[in-house]
Amino acid sequence: MRLKSSLISEHNAKLSSLHQKKLEYISGQLDQSGFNPEGIIQKISDFQVAIPSWALGTGGTRFGRFPSGGEPRNLEEKIEDVGLLHALNKSSGAISLHIPWDIPEDYIKISNLAKSFGLKFDAVNSNTFQDQSDQELSYKFGSLAHTDANIRQLAIDHNKGVIDHGIKLGSRSLTVWLADGSNFPGQQNFRKALSRTLDSLRSIYDHLPDDWQMFVEYKPFEPNFYSTVIPDWGTSFLLSSKLGHKAYCLVDLGHHLPNTNIEQVVATLMGEHKLGGFHFNDSKFADDDLTVGAIKPYQLFLIFNELVYGMEGANKDDAPLAWMIDVSHNVKDPLEDLLQSVEAIKLAYAQALVIDRDKLEETRENNDVARAQEILQDAFRTDLRPLIAEARIRNDAAQDPLLLFRDLKMRDQLRKERGSGSVATGL
Ligand SMILES: [Mn+2]
């Protein structure tokens, strides 16, 4: 399914008068405070967030899954879904594939299809957290950290294969997330598990093309509950540092214990030039994978405060950060959830662009605690949604993507095309 551009123009025309009023108001306010609204619109307009192929279907919990129908049945339809999102918001211009589910049968056909929607291929993701049906050796007790060298080799070869698929599609990075760890005290020798992991990662790293990056993701628990081999940013940093200049830490917002100061983690990693990218989501408890910005929008803003400080300062010449969503949808329509998530990310970014940084630094140097809080919250409470809508309108996207998705009954159309019982693969 492709979205006709005339439908977008009609939608935008209908909303135009109120939008213009709001835009004028906020632009004037920013101008007066010394910010350049045009510059912010341009930055928002350039910002692209990759959509993972596994977020296009209804997720579930171990208690059940309630698909809503019309889900993509294959890689072509996953690309179509991201194409729809990108047509609606012009900010979702990349798809991140998960191997083995997303192996193309015809690479040229798949590349051309993606191109026709204006999409690129973002990081490719390996999967060694479950056994495939034709697999003789099992990952039950680990993959890259396994005690058995043959199983480690199987996982290494899988990751190398994922890189090879990515090369054929024009990807430039591999994300490695390991489920390896232990469920009970005494089960695993921590030091041996970590050093085996490093050795395995080294073999994979050696297979990376020169212009590729490897992202090492961390997670404190789940599916293993007593220990994980890469539990935190420190271990990810250690491994990435030992691997070399192509390896970076990947911060998944849900992969922290409650109340972790993630913005400080981001600041430290940026200070070391070892932050590679993000998996955005939100959570109340841990890896809840809820819509970005749904629970803690202020935390998201504080993270972007550190990101903007770095990107516009000491990290200006670093490789661009990889922005990706990693959410799961139990009760929402996946495409609606993704539209909301991308919006929340752009809003946090825009808000971080209107922080009075000179004044903030001055208050910090003078230990003016109350004023520092005021400066941050002043930016956070400024309604910048008209600027984000304006960026979309200028890119021929929808002023209100979610509204248009609903007005056009797009999910119903997808259900008609794909069937009400279709379930996406790769979750
Ligand atoms: Mn993740």
Residue 61 is predicted with a pLDDT of: 84
- Residue 13 CA, ligand 1 centroid: distance in Å: 38
* Ligand 1 centroid, distance to 217 Cα (angstroms): 7
Number of CB atoms found within 10 A of residue 1's CB: 16
Distance from the CA of 151 to the center of ligand 1, in angstroms? 23
Å from CA of 382 to ligand 1 middle? 30
State in Å: Cα 279 to ligand 1 middle.
5
Cα of 31 from ligand 1 centre, angstroms: 38
Q: Determine, yes or no, domain membership for 384.
A: no
**Quick one: which of 270, 202, 201 has its CA closest to 278?**
270
pLDDT at residue 60 in the model: 82
For tokens 């139990």, name the residue: 330
Q: Is residue 276 part of a domain?
A: yes
CA of 322 to the centre of ligand 1 (A): 12
Q: Give the tokens for residue 118.
A: 């204006």
* 331 occurs within a structural domain: yes
Given a cut of 70, whether residue 221 has pLDDT beyond it is: yes
pLDDT tens digits, 22-45: 999 999 999 999 999 999 999 999
What percentage of the chain exceeds 90 in pLDDT? 94
Q: Note whether residue 121 is domain-resident.
A: yes
Asked whether 194 and 229 are in contact (CB, 8 A), the reply is yes
300 contacts 238 by C-beta, under 8 angstroms: no
CATH number, position 81: 3.20.20.150
pLDDT for res 427: 60
**Ligand 1 mean position, distance from CA 15 (Å):** 36
Cα of 415 vs centre of ligand 1, distance in Å, is: 28
CA of 421 to the centre of ligand 1 (A): 27
Q: How far is the CA of 236 from the centre of ligand 1 (A)?
A: 13
| pLDDT of the residue at 423 | 83
Q: What pLDDT digit, counting tens, does each position of 91-149 carry?
A: 999 999 999 999 999 999 999 999 999 999 999 999 999 999 989 999 999 999 999 99
Residue-wise pLDDT for 341-364, tens only, equals: 999 999 999 999 999 999 999 999
Section 244-259 average pLDDT: 97
CA of 252 to the centre of ligand 1 (A): 5
| Owning domain of residue 248 | 48-356
Please determine, for residue 165, whether its predicted confidence score (pLDDT) is greater than 90. Answer: yes
- Planar angle of CA 166, 205, 275, nearest 5 degrees: 85
Name the burial class of residue 415, with classes exposed (0-12), middle (13-18) and buried (19+) by CB atoms within 10 angstroms of its CB. Answer: middle
Q: How does pLDDT run across 312-336, given as a tens digit for each residue?
A: 999 999 999 999 999 998 899 999 9
Q: Are 43 and 387 in contact (CB under 8 A)?
A: no
Q: Is residue 103 part of a domain?
A: yes
Give the predicted TM-score (pTM) of the model.
Answer: 0.97
pLDDT exceeds cutoff 90 at 67 = no
pLDDT of residue 422: 84
Distance 333 CA to ligand 1 centre (A): 20
* CA of residue 340 to ligand 1 center, whole Å: 18
403 within domain boundaries: no
Three-state SS for 329?
coil
Q: Say how far apart CA 177 and CA 388 lie, in whole Å.
A: 32
User: Ligand 1 centre from 329 Cα, in Å?
Assistant: 14
Domain count, the chain: 1
CA distance 350 to 353: 5
pLDDT at 62 (0 to 100): 83
| Cα Dmax for the chain | 67
Examine the pLDDT at 371 and tell me if it is beyond 70: yes
Is residue 171 situated within a structural domain? yes
Asked whether residue 370 carries a pLDDT value surpassing 80, the answer given is yes
What's the 233 CA to ligand 1 centre distance in angstroms?
Answer: 13
Confidence tier at 52 by pLDDT (50, 70, 90): very high
Are residues 265 and 337 in contact, defined by beta-carbon separation less than 8 angstroms? no
Q: Name the band, by pLDDT with cuts 50, 70 and 90, for residue 426.
A: low
In a domain, 38, yes or no: no
Calpha distance 12→90 (Å, rounded): 14
